[in-house]
Amino acid sequence: MNLEFNESRRKFVITTAAVSGGMSFGFALPSGDVFAQVQKGADLTQPEVNAWVVIKPDDTVVIRIARSEMGQGTLTGLAQMVAEELECDWSKVTTEQPTPGQNLARKRIWRDMSTGGSRGIRGSHEYVRQGGAAARQMLIAAAAQEWNVPAAECSAANSVITHAASGRKTTYGKVAAVAARMEPPKDVQLKAPKDWKLIGKGVARLDTKEKVNGSRIYGTDLNLPGMLNASIKACPVFGGKLVSFDEAKVSGMPGVKHVLKVGDNAVVVVADTWWRANKALNALPIIWDNGPNANVNSAMIAERNKAGLDATEAFIGNKVGDASAAIAAAPKKIEAVYSYPFQNHATMEPMNATALWSADKCEVWCPTQNGDAALSAASTAAGLPLDKCDVYKINLGGGFGRRGASDYIRQVVSIAKQLPGTPVKLIWSREEDMLQGAYHPVTQCKLTAGIDAQGNVSGLNMRISGQSILATVIPTLLVNGADLLTFQGLLPVGHERFGDHAISYAFDNLTIDHAMRNTHVPPGFWRGVNANQNAIYMECFVDEIAHASNQDALALRQKLMAKNPKGWAVLKAAADQGGWGKPTPKGTGRGLAAYYCFGAYIAACAEVSVSATGKLTVKRIVAATDSGHAVNPKQIAHQVEGSFVYGLGALLHQECTVKDGRIEQDNFTTYQPLRLSEMPKIETIVMPSGGFWGGVGEPTIAVAAPAVLNAIFNATGKRIRNLPIKNADLKA
Amino acid sequence: MAKLNVNGKTIDVAVEPDTPLLWALREQGGLTGTKFGCGVAQCGACTVHVDGVPVRSCVMPVGAVKPTQKIVTIEGLSKDSTHAIQKAWIAMDVPQCGYCQSGMIMAAAALLKKKPKPTDADIDSAMTNICRCGTYQQVRNAIHMAAGNVGRKA
């Protein structure tokens, strides 16, 4: 997912706040409810206590949320953080999302809007709490002024301010207008964690009710007056171009209004309804120039990555001592090669966006994880200055990193620009979504270990060969050509830039390096990012070392984690509850994995069974998480469960293969997510040790695959090193 | 022009007969609670009830639906989200992004109607909808809760 450190590359904008009026959502909804239905930015007409907090006269508390809600619960978690310090009545809390334009008009008062890298809470905990605390102080000061008593004699709880000495009470709603005119406090004290009442509580999400009755509006549901609908096809071979299309063949089909070129590689049909647009698009004869990659296939990419495993040149990620010498001198040596495929995010809601362009203004309504980048993309595609554009963030039907990219936003603006004054909604078909992804990078890894007579790892070489995400997506973040994010969860402890992705184990002699082998298939941030394959490589190979040296896999990890007490604590908790070390029936096995990434310690103990015919059942997984502080343990448990669903789908079924330069899997028929019937029982142990703020949405996915792979080995003696498992033969 | 009986009302939809029910509901009926996910009956985001039976509306042509057949969408499942499934969904905080949840809820409601006390195996076979956020464990728990299945830790 987007790791939001590309500040210097962003363009910023000052623009107006309001959505242009007159939207309606089909006749089923009264038009008066429109603005309530769609996030349209912050309502800046209301007097605010400060940028984060608006209190209405009826005591309603409006908390402003800068990050995008895509299911991960950040909306509720961030509101809890503000409300904790605000001391407001939680039952009266509502939220709203400022637009990127509003943010910039106010000198980035809401700071970063990008939502990725599991940074929603850990990246903003301090300033959002300060926003709540400052607002509380101003509300108290307003009451104290009215009562002519020192503010220090007043206290606030549950949206009620009390002056104990005189017994006077008032509510936030009554003093909010005065508070809005107070000077912001210079000294804002945050509560000690021991005094938290709302942080750490598994309160219900703020956005559930409208998700159970169909009233929640997503980008695909937008309906502006006079709006047309569009379905698009880009050249299925990445890097290819559009040559021509035969418009006459479809221009007479029902509802078809326009057939247009989009950029240099795509064609779109615009019609009155999306179904008619898509039907005509599928009937449209199109000629592509498939370009220089028309012959590339998966085997060629794999061969190139394989060659990289032994290349002399590679970027160093972590080096301690002399691993090669130590391995050469070791009495025992083991080696293994692993591989990880391309995978599509496959969000449930396909990519989509709606735009309205005129010569002096461009507005975009879209689900995005990165409002700032979306605004920049809209401006560029619109050919209008940033201050003539704005982006209204709509609820995301899943993100997982895919909606950090702005390709679909550039497309819709390009279409709208060809139809001035007409709003256009672009929805990708599932096929387009599958073929035009920003894929999980493809890599291989060779690991070589030397094991001494006492069973200690005397040296470890780990060569990763394959794609870099940053080289394609944010090349300015390469360091002397190296993509340090490739080494997620493998970097030195205390690493200056990526200390939140440090290695869990201490080795006396270690080299981890990366032979970068980029492909024409575009990579992207995919939930868990590079921690996914890195954790498989490291955690499965540690299991191999344990087996080769006849050691218990937990005991070996305990030795390697001697300097990592928090990592060991979560692993021990998962192993204990998971029954590690207890006997299992034939065909059943357990596996462990532990990792540190996105600033959180996680571990899992998986239990699987494999039948004689090779049918795999993942029965139970115990997962432990230490994210430092645990803002909403209930939502953490849901994120942990979801991480296993996403991670196990990837492990069991998912790969995107390349033939003739294009991705072969074009729908859920050939790209199977995990289904409910395959869902193991997940037991989540939330064990916050305090003192730091770790991520939640992504870390756990790292342990999903290696814990299960190690359990399969434990059950069957079969070591699967190439994913997904569907390609492996597990028959006895 | 076809006539459809949706949530107790008859509506006219001006579409070609091969138009999937999903798109007639969304684009002519304005009922956007029913979602487009795959278009090939794989994901179930488009699930509605036709005469009480869960149907993947993305592959059901409007021309195959009789005006007398009763279609129920998520918007018509209950007034004020009071169906047992919806209440359990709220109590368990099931949805994450929520996009698949209309279909999930319609599939679960149809399951309960057919089997008021479903077993885990019943839930496995009836709930084939795809959720990418990964709400499955809470979906299972909430169905048991709605069914009033006792002696089971939700």
Tens digits of residue pLDDT in A301-357: 999 999 999 999 999 999 999 999 999 999 999 999 999 999 999 999 999 999 999
Query: Does A596 share its domain with A451?
Result: yes
Do the domain assignments include residue B143?
yes
Query: Does A370 share its domain with A470?
Result: no
A28-32, A100-104, A151-155, A430-434: least confident range:
A28-32
Question: Side chain identity at A344, as an amino acid letter?
Answer: N
Asked if residue A14 has pLDDT above 60, the reply is no
Test A676 with B31 for CB contact under 8 angstroms: no
Query: Does A200 share its domain with A254?
Result: no
> Token pair of A723, please?
């994913």
Question: Side chain identity at A400, as an amino acid letter?
Answer: F
CA-only gyration radius of chain A, Å: 27
Residues A180, A176: Cα–Cα separation, whole Å:
6
- Mark which of B58, B75, B92 sits at the end of a domain: B75
Residues A689, B105: Cα–Cα separation, whole Å:
37
Test B15 with A275 for CB contact under 8 angstroms: yes
CB count, 10 Å around CB of B154? 13
Query: Does A95 share its domain with A145?
Result: yes
Contact A278, A430 (CB under 8 A): no
Asked if residue A13 has pLDDT above 60, the reply is no
How many CA atoms, within 13 angstroms, populate the side-chain half-sphere of residue A366?
A: 41
pLDDT for A701 equals 98
- Name the percent of chain A lying above pLDDT 70: 95
pLDDT for A26 equals 29
User: Which residue range is the domain that position B61 belongs to?
Assistant: 2-75
Residue A394: closest CA among chain B residues belongs to which residue?
Answer: B97
Hey, is the C-beta of B154 within 8 angstroms of any chain A C-beta? no
CB count, 10 Å around CB of A657? 15
pLDDT for A12 equals 25
Sign of CA dihedral A183, A184, A188, A191: positive
Task: Give A419-430 pLDDT, tens digit per residue.
Answer: 999 999 999 999
Asked if residue A28 has pLDDT above 60, the reply is no
Average pLDDT over residues A377-394: 96
Q: Give the 3-state DSSP-derived string for A668-717, with helices as H, strands as E and coil as C.
A: CCCCCCCCHHHCCEEEEEECCCCCCECCCCCCCHHHHHHHHHHHHHHHHC
- Mark which of A427, A453, A477 sits at the end of a domain: A427
pLDDT for A25 equals 28
Residues A536, A593: Cα–Cα separation, whole Å:
9
Average pLDDT over residues A675-695: 98
Asked if residue A1 has pLDDT above 50, the reply is no
CB count, 10 Å around CB of A359? 11
Question: Side chain identity at A394, as an amino acid letter?
Answer: I
Question: Side chain identity at A217, as an amino acid letter?
Answer: I
Query: Does A363 share its domain with A510?
Result: no
Residues A487, A534: Cα–Cα separation, whole Å:
7
Test B38 with A430 for CB contact under 8 angstroms: yes
Average pLDDT over residues A2-25: 28
Hey, is the C-beta of A399 within 8 angstroms of any chain B C-beta? yes
- Mark which of A180, A211, A242 sits at the end of a domain: A211
- Mark which of A211, A237, A257 sits at the end of a domain: A211
Query: Does B69 share its domain with B6?
Result: yes
Do the domain assignments include residue B152?
no
- Mark which of B27, B56, B75 sits at the end of a domain: B75
Which positions 70-89 of B are in contact with A (Cβ < 8 Å)? 73-75, 77-78, 81, 86, 89
Which positions 93-132 of A are in contact with B (Cβ < 8 Å)? none
Average pLDDT over residues A536-547: 98
Query: Does B10 share its domain with B44?
Result: yes
Hey, is the C-beta of A350 within 8 angstroms of any chain B C-beta? yes
Query: Does B90 share its domain with B64?
Result: no
Residue A220: its chain B contacts at CB < 8 A?
32, 35-36
Query: What is the total count of domains within chain B?
Result: 2
Do the domain assignments include residue A393?
yes
- Mark which of B25, B46, B75 sits at the end of a domain: B75
Query: What is the total count of domains within chain A?
Result: 3
pLDDT for A310 equals 98
Residue B89: its chain A contacts at CB < 8 A?
208, 212
Query: Does A509 share its domain with A482?
Result: yes
Task: Give B33-68 pLDDT, tens digit per residue.
Answer: 999 999 999 999 999 999 999 999 999 999 999 999
Average pLDDT over residues A569-589: 98
Give the closest residue to A135 by CA, choosing from A87, A171, A65, A97.
A87
CATH number at residue B50: 3.10.20.30
Query: Does B70 share its domain with B93?
Result: no
Do the domain assignments include residue A475?
yes
Residue B90: its chain A contacts at CB < 8 A?
204, 208-209, 212
CATH number at residue A363: 3.30.365.10
Query: Does A367 share its domain with A418?
Result: yes
Do the domain assignments include residue B28?
yes
Average pLDDT over residues A246-266: 98
Test B131 with A399 for CB contact under 8 angstroms: no
Task: Please state whether beta strands A457-466 and A510-516 pair in parallel, antiparallel, or not at all (unpaired).
Answer: parallel
Do the domain assignments include residue A33?
no
Residues A77, A634: Cα–Cα separation, whole Å:
11
> Token pair of A727, please?
């390609």
Task: Give A273-317 pLDDT, tens digit per residue.
Answer: 999 999 999 999 999 999 999 999 999 999 999 999 999 999 999
Which burial class, exposed, middle or buried, applies to A454 when counting CB atoms under 10 A from its CB (0-12, 13-18, 19+)? exposed
Do the domain assignments include residue B25?
yes
Residues A127, A592: Cα–Cα separation, whole Å:
37
Query: Does A446 share its domain with A526?
Result: yes
CATH number at residue B112: 1.10.150.120
**Cβ-Cβ contacts under 8 Å for B46 (sequence gap 6 or more):** B20, B22, B34, B35, B36, B37, B56, B57, B58, B103
Residues A606, A603: Cα–Cα separation, whole Å:
10
Query: Does A260 share its domain with A306?
Result: no
Residue B100: its chain A contacts at CB < 8 A?
348
Residues A138, A105: Cα–Cα separation, whole Å:
24
pLDDT for A732 equals 84
pLDDT band at residue A39 under the 50/70/90 scheme = low
- Name the percent of chain B lying above pLDDT 70: 97
pLDDT for B1 equals 78
Query: Does B62 share its domain with B102?
Result: no
pLDDT band at residue A40 under the 50/70/90 scheme = confident
Average pLDDT over residues A163-182: 97
Do the domain assignments include residue A433?
no
pLDDT for B149 equals 86
Query: Does A529 share its domain with A613?
Result: yes
Residue B26: its chain A contacts at CB < 8 A?
221
Query: Does B67 share its domain with B93?
Result: no
Which burial class, exposed, middle or buried, applies to A302 when counting CB atoms under 10 A from its CB (0-12, 13-18, 19+)? middle
Give the distance, in angstroms, between the CA of residue A410 and the centroid of all CA atoms in the same chain: 21
User: Which residue range is the domain that position A110 belongs to?
Assistant: 39-211
Of A231 and A35, which is predicted with more confidence?
A231
Q: Mutation target for A interface from B22, B40, B133, B138: give the one with most A CBs within 10 A.
A: B133
Asked if residue B85 has pLDDT above 50, the reply is yes
pLDDT for A38 equals 59
Query: Does B60 share its domain with B90?
Result: no
What's the pTM value of the predicted model, to 2 decimals?
0.95
Residue B132: its chain A contacts at CB < 8 A?
345-348, 398, 400, 645-646, 673
Task: Give A462-519 pLDDT, tens digit per residue.
Answer: 999 999 999 999 999 999 999 999 999 999 999 999 999 999 999 999 999 999 999 9
Query: Does A370 share its domain with A457?
Result: no
Do the domain assignments include residue B153?
no
Which burial class, exposed, middle or buried, applies to A691 when counting CB atoms under 10 A from its CB (0-12, 13-18, 19+)? exposed
Residue B30: its chain A contacts at CB < 8 A?
25-29, 223
Asked if residue A379 has pLDDT above 90, the reply is yes
Query: Does B18 share its domain with B58?
Result: yes
Residue A421 DSSP label: T
Do the domain assignments include residue B136?
yes
Give the closest residue to A636 by CA, choosing from A118, A128, A180.
A118
Average pLDDT score over chain A: 94
pLDDT for B121 equals 98
Query: Does A96 share its domain with A177?
Result: yes
Query: Does B55 share its domain with B16?
Result: yes
pLDDT band at residue A403 under the 50/70/90 scheme = very high
Contact A187, A68 (CB under 8 A): no
